Amino acid sequence: MRILVAGAAGFIGSHLCESLLARGHEVVGMDNLLTGALDNVEPFLAAPGFSFVRHDVTEFIALEGPLDWVLHFASPASPHDYLEMPIQTLKVGALGTHKALGLAKTKGARFLLASTSEVYGDPLVHPQREDYWGNVNPIGPRGVYDEAKRFAEAMTMAYHRYHGVDTRIVRIFNTYGERMRRHDGRAIPAFMTQALTGEPLTVYGDGSQTRSFQYISDLVEGIWRLMESRVTDPVNIGNPHEMTLLELAKKILRLSGSASEIVFEPLPVDDPKVRQPDITRARSLLGWEPRVDVEEGLRRTLAWFRARLARS
């Protein structure tokens, strides 16, 4: 197949490209490098079958030749980033999704939207099932991401229903692994960098808020299975292993052997109190479930951050 990955130079996009290339497909990676980095595509930049196009998907996407799949992963994705870039975040979720869907329609390609657990907002239903409509503050600081992704889901379903585009929607829960940006502001890169440099770990609030973290290779496998399936309704892909942020911080201290202390800082506005995917749909419809245990995934990621820090 010939596959377009928008957001190819990002954390998830780059792992996806690598996996599609390994399966023998031709991949066109597109990115405007706003939050992505060429460093991420470096390992396969010269691979036969890979080409890179620097382009902002909020602008019309002109691409020669046939396409089988269009995978839309372009967006700032950490709370820190979308607070710094609120307009770009809204534009790529809205206009970027529209352009990517338009391209899929023109080429007769299957389309995937990378959606998010943020569509559930600060959830009143726990764990979150796909039929929960969410609790989102549209005018809060996180609204720029949450509402953009909610709009993107609505746009995707409209292209599916009105234009007959063959669409998929993956709702991605917290994911971590190699190639996350050290200073992207998210909990795992922050705690790992702090632990490895002897800085205090900054836990926001009292650390009792929960998240459920999945390792990148599990997500990539889930996305592949979803694309190969006929499931056009949204599917949660995440690891149901839930923990508090304080537990996560302590785990990272233990795994890294760090003597850093833990300090508490103010909780960001609208920070969800709990988050855990219900993966019944993914299990039953895709035969998918996470394979990488959290400690194992954190160990691999720590090793990568350690090597990165040693080089800088």
145 is catalytic: yes
Distance, in Å, from the CA atom of 3 to the CA atom of 20, rounded to the nearest integer, reads: 8
Residues 150-179 that bind ligand UDP (CB under 6 A): 174
Using alpha carbons, list the distances in angstroms from residue 43 to 1, 46, 220, 273: 21, 8, 17, 37
Considering only the stretches 51-59, 127-135, 158-166, 204-212, report the one whose residues sit in contact with ligand UDP under the rule CB under 6 A: 204-212
Q: Do 73 and 5 touch, CB atoms closer than 8 A?
A: yes
Distance, in Å, from the CA atom of 189 to the CA atom of 19, rounded to the nearest integer, reads: 23
Q: Is 137 a residue that touches ligand UDP (CB under 6 A)?
A: no
Among candidate residues 45, 28, 144, 161, the one with its CA nearest the CA of residue 85:
144
User: Considering the complex, what minimum distance in angstroms separates the CB of residue 4 from ligand UDP?
Assistant: 26
Residue closer to ligand UDP (CB basis): 79 or 234: 79
Considering only the stretches 64-72, 148-156, 184-192, 220-228, report the one whose residues sit in contact with ligand UDP under the rule CB under 6 A: 184-192
User: Considering the complex, what minimum distance in angstroms separates the CB of residue 81 from ligand UDP?
Assistant: 10
User: Considering the complex, what minimum distance in angstroms separates the CB of residue 144 from ligand UDP?
Assistant: 13
- Residue in 245, 274, 279, 302 binding ligand UDP, rule: CB under 6 A: 245
- The strand pair at 214-215 and 175-176 is best described as parallel
Within 8 A by CB and 6+ apart from 198, the residues are: 258, 259, 260
Q: Is 97 a residue that touches ligand UDP (CB under 6 A)?
A: no
Active-site amino acid positions: 145
> Which spans of this chain sit near ligand UDP (rule: CB under 6 A)?
78-79, 174, 185-187, 190, 202-204, 209, 211, 245, 267-268, 271
